[in-house]
């Protein structure tokens, strides 16, 4: 199969400034690289803070949703460092004043101060503009507030305010202004707490943390009772089911998971619902291993070309090249703190730095980064510990529903151990359509050998595919298709009513699920689906992953009567293309192969794997 090569267009914007010689470089030096890995060597922190505050306040827009997460990690770094760095505190104050207090004053000067909101809004409109009911003025996204997702940064804003107020940094007038902003942001003209999301998923939980902390700090705020009732509803939905159902892990998983902790911290549930929170962390922990590379259902996980930025600033860069890469590591950091859990700390190290070698070795730059990022744990003699974990059936809602969600094949989770993972869950989801039955991860010797998932690649809007577009939903599973369809276009494409939609109609047969190891540490797995492409059809897949990393797959398929004789079935594997560098044109071609094994390069390698694995 040929892979479509992607190209990027780099647009360079030139800005010409007239300045006194030397002044521009001085100002640029004050404003670049924030939040910085360290502020200890800044010669004039007051000048930097003043310049940063003015620069932030003068912006035309910024992301109210995602723009505060890095500043919140700076707050965490300051607090966990023993609150010793006065320079970090001054930078936090500059950011808070520039992006909230001065921003509000700027809007007030235009008679728009009452349009600013720092949580989310349920007003009507689109992603760019919204309109208050009974008001002709327009709410501009990332200018007056952040739209429906604007509350994703709310918990960060409230935590920074809480820290600045506790340290005596803010004046009485500044605290009065912020209270005014909080109160108007919670008014019903901005938020109807009975509208929009009332269940547990990334949008609601991303928004909820700021609201929860706001009504804790300001219990007399408008709609405090309605806000509390909404928080109780979305938490009840979560606790009754015992989990949440979203599988596009990057970027939505960390958004939900941070929101879970934000709500729990602000409402006291971090203690009262401790077992629930830990069980969700335990399920997500199963997704991780020591392979140094990763796959997810319907969520691509790219590797970085270089790890210099990660080692230089592990608070703001993560190991994987994904959206908001540092957020995942910070979720595990928070979990490890709350539970003083060594396995959660191991997870934080894996997604932040990539994990150590099988012998526990790493470079000097790696150890320096570990010390900078995880010093709080080192001071308390809390060291990472590799979780136990062999072949197993991964459960959704492990304490309550016990739904078969995944099958993991692996001898363990040491660096270099092979692992293969299959996705079983058979219900539709906002960001997950045709993924049931997929082999979404096959890794051995620190190399990703199979993984075809990508964001939105299997999600439809009407009869049109929202993303992907190269047939990823056809790959790494058993494909059944009508002979009139040209591969790799999936039979479900364009709403073809003559073919059977798999998602929402197939049924995972939990009684067939198996996952076990033998004494030689080989792994065996089995799963089955009923009504797979049509009523009465059944697919059973059996797999063996040897200790050496060889994956053997056998499929058994019985078609129902509705399929007739015009259908073909078979497994389809998504292989990487060889690099062109140093190879002949014939060497990079993918040709028909009669053997039942494949010779292809790996998609990616762990930082510690110096050899090219095939």
Q: In Å, what is the CA distance from 103 to each residue of 59, 64, 113, 150?
A: 9, 12, 9, 15
On whether the CB atoms of residues 274 and 332 are closer than 8 A, the answer is no
Please say if the pLDDT value at position 475 is more than 80.
no
Kindly indicate the confidence band of residue 599, based on its pLDDT and cuts at 50, 70 and 90: confident
Percent share of the chain, pLDDT over 90: 68
Q: Indicate the pTM of the whole model.
A: 0.91
- What is the spatial distance between Cα 468 and Cα 487, in angstroms, rounded to a whole number? 15
| pLDDT for the residue 429 | 64
| pLDDT for the residue 462 | 59
pLDDT digits (tens, 9 = 90+) for 519-578: 999 999 999 999 888 788 999 999 999 999 999 999 999 988 877 787 888 888 888 776
- Per the listing, tokens 């930097």 go with 48
| pLDDT for the residue 470 | 45
- Is 591 or 394 the better-scoring residue by pLDDT? 394
| pLDDT for the residue 426 | 86
Kindly indicate the confidence band of residue 278, based on its pLDDT and cuts at 50, 70 and 90: very high
Range from 54-58, 121-125, 486-490 carrying the lowest mean pLDDT: 486-490
Phi-psi region of 407 (alpha: psi -120 to 50; beta: other; left: phi over 0): beta
- What is the spatial distance between Cα 87 and Cα 48, in angstroms, rounded to a whole number? 10
- What is the spatial distance between Cα 421 and Cα 408, in angstroms, rounded to a whole number? 5
Q: Which long-range contacts (C-beta less than 8 Å, at least 24 apart) are formed by 391-397?
A: 391/515, 391/516, 391/517, 391/523, 391/524, 391/525, 391/545, 392/286, 392/515, 393/513, 393/514, 393/515, 394/283, 394/286, 394/421, 395/283, 396/243, 396/245, 396/283, 396/425, 397/241, 397/242, 397/243
Please say if the pLDDT value at position 18 is more than 60.
no
Q: In Å, what is the CA distance from 215 to each residue of 58, 260, 266, 418?
A: 30, 17, 9, 48
DSSP E strands: which ranges in 165-228? none
Q: What's the mean pLDDT in 310-328?
A: 95
pLDDT digits (tens, 9 = 90+) for 217-242: 999 999 999 999 999 999 999 999 99
* Class of domain 392-580+587-605 as given by CATH: mainly beta
As a whole number, the mean pLDDT across the chain is: 87
Q: What's the mean pLDDT in 89-115?
A: 98
| pLDDT for the residue 128 | 82
Q: What's the mean pLDDT in 285-302?
A: 89
On whether the CB atoms of residues 396 and 245 are closer than 8 A, the answer is yes
Please say if the pLDDT value at position 288 is more than 90.
yes
pLDDT digits (tens, 9 = 90+) for 551-568: 999 999 998 887 778 788
Please say if the pLDDT value at position 131 is more than 80.
yes
| pLDDT for the residue 565 | 80
Say how many Å lie between the first and final Cα of the chain, rounded: 17
- What is the spatial distance between Cα 322 and Cα 295, in angstroms, rounded to a whole number? 12
pLDDT digits (tens, 9 = 90+) for 161-175: 999 999 999 999 999
Kindly indicate the confidence band of residue 473, based on its pLDDT and cuts at 50, 70 and 90: low
Range from 337-351, 397-411, 425-439, 455-469 carrying the lowest mean pLDDT: 455-469
| pLDDT for the residue 297 | 81
| pLDDT for the residue 376 | 98
- Is 8 or 93 the better-scoring residue by pLDDT? 93
Q: What's the mean pLDDT in 317-323?
A: 94
| pLDDT for the residue 453 | 63
Residue 255 CA, chain-centre distance (Å), reads 6
Percent share of the chain, pLDDT over 70: 85
pLDDT digits (tens, 9 = 90+) for 381-439: 999 999 999 999 999 999 999 999 999 999 999 999 999 999 999 886 655 656 788 89
Please say if the pLDDT value at position 492 is more than 60.
no
DSSP symbols for 444-493: ETTEEEE----TTTT-EETTEE-S--S-GGGSSEEEEEETTSPTTS-TTG
Give the count of alpha carbons within 13 A of 266, CB side only: 30
338 token code pair? 């709350």
Q: What's the mean pLDDT in 591-605?
A: 79
On whether the CB atoms of residues 121 and 150 are closer than 8 A, the answer is yes
Q: What's the mean pLDDT in 508-518?
A: 98
């Amino acid at each position: 199969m040929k892979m479509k090569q992607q190209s990027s267009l780099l647009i360079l914007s030139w800005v010409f400034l007239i300045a006194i010689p030397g002044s521009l470089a001085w100002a640029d030096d004050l404003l670049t690289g924030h939040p910085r890995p360290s502020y200890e060597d800044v010669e004039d922190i007051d000048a930097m803070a003043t310049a940063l505050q003015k620069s932030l306040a003068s912006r035309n827009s910024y992301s109210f949703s995602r723009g505060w997460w890095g500043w919140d990690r700076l707050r965490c770094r300051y607090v966990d460092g023993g609150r010793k760095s006065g320079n970090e505190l001054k930078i936090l104050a500059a950011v808070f004043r520039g992006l909230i207090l001065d921003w509000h004053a700027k809007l007030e000067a235009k008679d728009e101060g009452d349009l600013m909101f720092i949580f989310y809004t349920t007003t009507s409109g689109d992603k760019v503009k919204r309109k208050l009911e009974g008001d002709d003025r327009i709410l501009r996204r990332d200018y007056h507030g952040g739209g429906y997702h604007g509350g994703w940064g709310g918990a960060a804003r409230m935590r920074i305010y809480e820290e600045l107020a506790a340290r005596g940094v803010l004046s009485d007038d500044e605290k009065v202004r912020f209270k005014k902003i909080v109160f108007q942001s919670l008014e019903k003209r901005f938020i109807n707490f009975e509208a929009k999301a009332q269940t547990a998923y990334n949008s609601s939980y991303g928004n909820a943390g700021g609201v929860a902390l706001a009504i804790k700090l300001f219990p007399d705020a408008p709609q405090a009772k309605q806000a509390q009732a909404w928080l109780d509803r979305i938490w009840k939905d979560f606790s009754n089911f015992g989990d949440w159902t979203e599988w596009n892990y990057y970027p939505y998983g960390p958004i939900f998971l941070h929101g879970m902790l934000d709500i729990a911290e602000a409402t006291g549930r971090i203690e009262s619902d401790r077992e629930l929170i830990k069980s969700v962390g335990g399920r997500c922990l199963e997704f991780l291993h020591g392979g140094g590379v990763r796959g997810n259902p319907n969520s691509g996980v790219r590797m970085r070309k270089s790890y210099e930025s990660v080692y230089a600033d592990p608070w703001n860069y993560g190991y994987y090249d994904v959206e908001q890469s540092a957020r995942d590591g910070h979720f595990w950091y928070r979990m490890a703190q709350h539970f003083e859990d060594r396995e959660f700390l191991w997870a934080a190290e894996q997604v932040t730095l990539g994990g150590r070698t099988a012998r526990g070795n790493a470079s000097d730059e790696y150890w320096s980064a570990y010390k900078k990022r995880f010093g709080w744990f080192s001071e308390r003699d809390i060291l990472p510990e590799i979780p136990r974990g062999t072949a197993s059936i991964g459960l959704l809602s492990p304490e309550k529903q016990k739904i078969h969600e995944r099958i993991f094949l692996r001898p363990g989770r040491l660096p270099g151990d092979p692992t293969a993972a299959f996705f079983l869950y058979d219900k539709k989801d906002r960001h997950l359509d045709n993924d049931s039955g997929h082999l979404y991860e096959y890794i051995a010797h620190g190399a990703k050998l199979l993984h075809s998932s990508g964001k939105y690649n299997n999600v439809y809007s009407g009869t049109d595919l929202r993303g992907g577009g190269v047939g990823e939903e056809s790959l790494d599973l058993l494909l059944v298709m009508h002979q009139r369809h040209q591969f790799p276009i999936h039979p479900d494409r364009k709403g073809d009513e003559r073919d059977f939609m798999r998602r929402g109609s197939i049924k995972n047969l939990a009684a067939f699920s198996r996952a076990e190891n033998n004494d030689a540490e080989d792994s065996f797995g089995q799963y089955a689906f009923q009504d797979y492409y049509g009523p009465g059809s059944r697919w059973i897949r059996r797999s063996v992953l040897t200790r050496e990393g060889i994956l053997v797959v056998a499929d058994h398929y019985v078609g129902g009567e509705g399929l007739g004789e015009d259908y073909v079935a078979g497994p389809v594997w998504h292989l990487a293309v060889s690099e062109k560098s140093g190879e002949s044109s014939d060497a990079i071609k993918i040709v028909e192969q009669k053997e039942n094994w494949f010779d292809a390069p790996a998609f990616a390698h762990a930082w510690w794997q110096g050899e090219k694995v095939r």
